[in-house]
Structure 1
């Protein structure tokens, strides 16, 4: 999928429609995972406050596939800026590197893309462990994992592997990796109007009721408009649903 990258640190019009609590600071760093001999670029969206934010919750955000061009972790600034403005500490991981193999487009996705998702889950775990070392005062008991498209598939896999490490999982139109059928973590998924999920990715109505899983279908937002390329109305709608999920 293609991305429109917003490289300026600004608040979007969509965010202005939502009550702001903090100004937002953007920092970018690259941490190095020695165990995998792999750099992990991260963008941090954090609230600017003269006093310490009490019980500050953490969001780890995972972008959709950006064809290894880099900067995809900056392509959801409307949502990550909003989250930081509400007091969340947001770490947005750049998953694919220019030296990585491209995501396979042929074959069964659950097989040919599994290594990509496993690498993503490993980067999430690495980032979480580094955050705990470097920012020990953050609230990791209520960790929130968010991902769009292929990043949502990574996040879903992480929830399968490490359910006790996260409190809430929010996917934006993940289509390939099955969502966990579980009450913990609490699971929400926002669905596009144009891209159906593969068979068994989404829980049945009976499973949704049993496990308290919430699915929301957006009538006028296509899959590729869930990043910064969406219009003001689409951004506001997605931000509103994420806000309601997090406040439950």
Structure 2
């Protein structure tokens, strides 16, 4: 893990405890590894909700200023460090990437019975609040991010969180990449732009995916990946599967 200066750690802890924006700046990008190897692991604290929000931060490898901010959300039961191949690829494209841990020990389990959409909404809303909190904190450290385009990336449950934020605040989000989210519908609009990568073994709920006509109308891209399993759309995928996912992701963000 890349070492964080004592001043930055102190700034993060003080600002988080006080519920205010950090005054410390992010370390200069030139100090980061040119290969974007390991993330900086931060434990932010949202005083307004009395909730810890762990973040893995991947910074652009070769740019002084990021081309945008990417917020990455893991699938249910996963960890914020489980998607490094995507985070590193986005950092190589010039994004500052924050991979956010949504579930913590002690959280209620995700509903699997009843009206699932309604039962899971509190968990999705909590995830949206996590993303907005992390964005606010990063903007406090680096004011240039206040005008940076926002990219949301999420797998499964994390994709539902990303889609919900895109629905609620479309003017805030520039692009969304869904790795097989199944519950929250894609926006039916030209903004934000959406890329949906679909597995070959899971189906989305009715109405989640736009029709071919809607895809053409709004510029939405939906790709089914042959042989790609829903539960393998993370660092555990094969090299060939990762390469295929990255090919679509990199073409979409350019």
TM range (shorter): 0.7 to 0.9
Larger deviation, residues 26-35 vs 138-147: 138-147
Between the two structures, name the one with larger relative contact order (CA 8 Å, sep ≥ 6).
Answer: 1
After superposition, the CA RMSD in angstroms is 1.7
Residue 30 of structure 1 corresponds to 43
Which of 134, 157, 162 pairs up with 1:150? Answer: 157
Given candidates 115, 120, 126, the residue that maps to 2:122 is 115
For 2:66 and 2:80, how far apart are their aligned partners in 1? 25
* Count of aligned pairs between the two proteins: 223
SS in 1 for 2:39: strand
The 8 Å contact of residues 23 and 47 in structure 1, kept in 2 or not, is answered as no
Using the TM superposition, give the Cα deviation of residue 139 of structure 1 relative to its aligned residue in structure 2, in angstroms.
Answer: 6.4
Other-structure match for 1:95: 102
Contact 1:55 1:139 in 2 (8 A): no
Question: Equivalent residue for 2:58?
Answer: 45
Q: Deviations over 1:46-89 (max 9, x none)?
A: 2344xx524531110000001xxxx7110111111121123211
Q: Counterpart of 2:21?
A: none
> Which whole-Å CA distance do the structure 1 matches of 2:67 and 2:92 have between them?
12
Higher deviation after alignment, 168-177 or 128-137: 128-137
Asked if 1:57 is matched to 2:68, the reply is yes
1:202-225 deviations in whole A, cap 9, x for unaligned? Answer: 111111111111101101101011
| SS in structure 2 at match of 1:39 | strand
Mapped contact 2:180–2:199 kept (Cα < 8 A): yes
Residue segments in structure 1 that go unaligned for 5+ positions in a row: 1-7, 10-20
8 Å CA contact 1:22, 1:86 repeated in 2: no
Q: d(CA) in 2 for partners of 1:212 and 1:108?
A: 31
- TM-score, length of structure 1 as denominator length: 0.85
SS at match of 2:69: strand
For 2:9, the equivalent position in structure 1 comes to none
Q: Which of the residues 231, 237, 241 maps onto 2:238? A: 231
- Distance in 2 between residues matched to 1:79 and 1:27, nearest whole Å: 16
> Are 2:227 and 1:216 aligned?
no
SS of equivalent residue, structure 1 residue 64: coil
189-198 or 29-38: bigger deviation: 29-38
TM norm structure 2: 0.83
* Higher gyration radius (CA): 2
Residue 174 (str. 1) matches residue 178 (str. 2): no
